[in-house]
Amino acid sequence: MLVIRLVSGPAGSDALVLPVRPGKPDSADSSGSPAELVPTAVAPGDDVRAESAALLPATRLTGAAGEVREHLRPGGAPARLWLLGVGSGDECDWRTAGAALARAAKDETQITIALPGEATEALRGLAEGLLLGSYRFRLTESGGRPALAEALVLVDDPEALAGTLDAARTTAEMTRLARDLTNTPSSTKNPEWFAEQVAGAASGRTGLHLRVRGPQELAAEGFGGILAVGGGSASGPRLVELDWRPDGARTHVVLVGKGITFDTGGISIKPVPAMKLMRKDMAGAAAVIAATLGAAELGLPVRVTTLAPLAENMVSGSAFRPGDVIRHYGGLTSESTNSDAEGRLVLADAMAYAVRELKPDLLIDLATLTGANAVALGKRHAALYSENDALAGDLLDAITAAGERAWRMPLADDYVEHLASDVADLHSSPAQGAGSVVAALYLREFTGDLRDRWAHLDMSAPSWSDDTHGELVKGATGWGVRGLLRWLATLG
Ligand code: BES
Ligand code: MN
Ligand code: ZN
């Protein structure tokens, strides 16, 4: 993986990167003026600066975030100059720029990037962008395309910025972990394998505690939803409980993540196009696990318990059936008429367990829960549900600041009547519209006295990207890790 280091003096890389931004709008000409150089903390040297300034009009750069141009300087030092559009210069634009740079400069071994004097936001964005934009998932080591090896970041006070770089690096590494888990084929990542990955990542860190429940413990303790959904698979279900418990923490957050390692739909089987990407149906679990590992890595002073119910929703003689009644942890029952609405059944168990046994201050769940998320909001936004305006606002702020996107949706009581069942406490999959809303209303039934301290994020849509753009690379996005870490960092 790309190494990023802070330096205060010119490091002699063959390639120097200078930021550029939109020039002053030209009042006489609506097409605007060319990009201008951004003043940097450590000046690149008069000759390089003058040459770059003279060059700018001919490059036709506008300064928009993510524009990149290479300029060759035969015999010069540096031998190659990269001009990088950083737009407004805020963190998000720097993130976009960093990702574009990582891709454009993939044939370089080492680059040096000069940052402006006020470097905190720029560094955070740049480092995350470089690390996320250069991500690629491969199952084999051989045959990889070249990638940038080292980025030196030129600032005036490296020591003062070390913490910022650490936060960015941890955030990006954990996002990459979530992407890796989500991209991994389901033939590899059965529930047992996923739990082993968590154990490996958590081992040796003080303050982190892990408990993994297998089918027998789940049965003994009454986790009927996880057992029903996992019952059709040759690979038994697990419940991962990962606890980051720092000394002196005053707030306790429980994060729950849907961990369906493959979703065939079960007996209510999905058609081919809907099934082909269902290895991503554990992206919620991957995100909450990675965020918790990140909280531990950064030593955030907040207790975080993460629950990842893991199951494979398969078709077999032992699969649960439409019309089955499931008894969840704590005793509530669900009539399930569609085995493809499996996510809410495993989440219900985990949430009921959190409310009854862990009694946290706040409860957040992340899930690739419904196709309706994308119908309502398109491919980039998660759907956020909460009865708590302050909590919803804080989460949206953190998610946005981290460069992710979510949109608040209503827990509209109009649809609650559809959750009624003739034979059970709840009907888990009423067949009518408002799919994402109804799923959220169903989950709300398991929040007990945490009802107004709970938020649900349906992240089916943004968990995957169909193409490479900005800091996203085609495939799993790791959605949620960045926003959750930002949010956790605001809690004391
Ligand atoms: N895992 C799917 C939701 C999904 C769809 C995630 C597309 C990512 C992309 C979920 O288990 C599911 O199948 N939901 C059903 C619910 C319905 C049966 C009530 C859906 O959305 O169709
Ligand atoms: Mn499903
Ligand atoms: Zn699913």
How many residues does the structure list for the chain? 492
Taking the C-alpha atoms of residue 487 and residue 384, their distance in angstroms, rounded to an integer, is 14
Contacts by residues 45-49 (CB-CB < 8 Å, ≥ 24 positions apart): 45/10, 48/16, 48/18, 48/78, 48/81
pLDDT (0 to 100) of residue 32 = 63
Residue 368 Cα to ligand 2 middle (Å): 9
What is the CA(24)–ligand 2 centre distance, in A?
52
Using CB atoms within 10 Å of the CB of residue 72, give its burial: 0 to 12 exposed, 13 to 18 middle, 19+ buried: exposed
Pocket test for ligand 1, best of 369, 415, 428, 465 (most atoms within 8 A of CB): 369
- The 3-class secondary structure across the chain, one letter per residue, is CCEEEEECCCCCCCEEEEEEECCCCCCCCCCCCCCEECCCCCCCCHHHHHHHHHHHHHHCCCCCCCCEEEEECCCCCCCEEEEEECCCCCHHHHHHHHHHHHHHCCCCCEEEEECCCCCHHHHHHHHHHHHHHCCCCCCCCCCCCCCCCEEEEECCCHHHHHHHHHHHHHHHHHHHHHHHHHHCCCCCCCHHHHHHHHHHHHCCCCCEEEEEECHHHHHHHCCHHHHHHHCCCCCCCEEEEEEECCCCCCCEEEEEECEEEEECCCCCCCCHHHHCCHHHCCHHHHHHHHHHHHHHHHCCCCEEEEEEEEEEECCCCCCCCCCEEEECCCCCEEEECCCCCCHHHHHHHHHHHHHHHHCCCEEEEEECCCCHHHHHHCCCCEEEEECCHHHHHHHHHHHHHCCCCEEECCCCHHHHHHHCCCCCCEECCCCCCCHHHHHHHHHHCCCHHHHHHEEEEECCCCCEECCCECCECCEECCCCHHHHHHHHHCCC
Q: What is the pLDDT of residue 306?
A: 98
pLDDT < 50 regions, the chain: none
Instruction: For residue 463, give the ligand nearest its CA.
Output: 1
Angle between helices 283-298 and 481-489 (to 10 degrees): 40
**What span, in angstroms and rounded, lies between the C-alpha atoms of 267 and 339?**
6
Pocket lining: 338 vs ligand 1, CB cutoff 6 Å: yes
CB atoms closer than 10 angstroms to residue 146: 9
Q: How many CB atoms lie within 10 A of CB 334?
A: 28
pLDDT of residue 43: 83
Q: What is the pTM of this model?
A: 0.96
Active site residues: 270, 344
Structure tokens at 242: 């990962």
Which ligand minimizes its atom distance to the CA of 370?
1
Q: CB of 130 within 8 A of CB of 99?
A: yes
Mutate to test the pocket of ligand 1, among 340, 342, 380, 429 (most ligand atoms within 8 A of CB): 340
Which pLDDT value is given to residue 29? 53
- In single-letter form, the type of residue at position 308 comes to A
Are the C-beta atoms of residues 214 and 248 closer than 8 Å to each other? no
User: Between the CA atoms of 122, 117, 488 and 438, what dihedral angle is there, to the nearest 10 degrees?
Assistant: -40
Enumerate domains of the chain plus CATH numbers: 3-158 (3.40.220.10), 171-488 (3.40.630.10)
Give the nearest ligand 1 atom to 260 CA. Answer: 1
Residue type, 336: S
Which candidate, 279, 453, 274, places its Cα nearest to that of 358?
453
Whether the CB of 182 sits within 6 Å of ligand 1: no
- Looking at residue 138, its pLDDT comes to 84
Q: Which ligand has an atom closest to residue 264 CA?
A: 2
b/e burial code for range 284-315 (CB count within 10 A of at least 16 → b): bbbbbbbbbbbbbbbebbbbbbbbbbbbbbbe
Q: CA distances (Å), 232 to each of 265, 315, 316, in order?
A: 11, 6, 5
Q: Name 72's bridge partners.
A: 80
Cα–ligand 1 centroid distance for 342 (angstroms) = 8
> What tokens were used for 360?
């946290």
Q: Please state, in angstroms and rounded to a whole number, the distance separating the CA atoms of residues 284 and 263.
A: 14
Q: Which atom in ligand 1 lies closest to the alpha carbon of residue 268?
A: 18
Residue 107 alpha carbon to ligand 3 centre in Å? 40
| 485 Cβ neighbours under 8 A, 6+ residues apart | 170, 171, 174, 291, 294, 295, 298, 300, 402
Question: Beta-carbon neighbour count of residue 480 at 10 Å?
Answer: 30
Nearest to residue 151, comparing CAs of 118, 92, 116, 103? 103
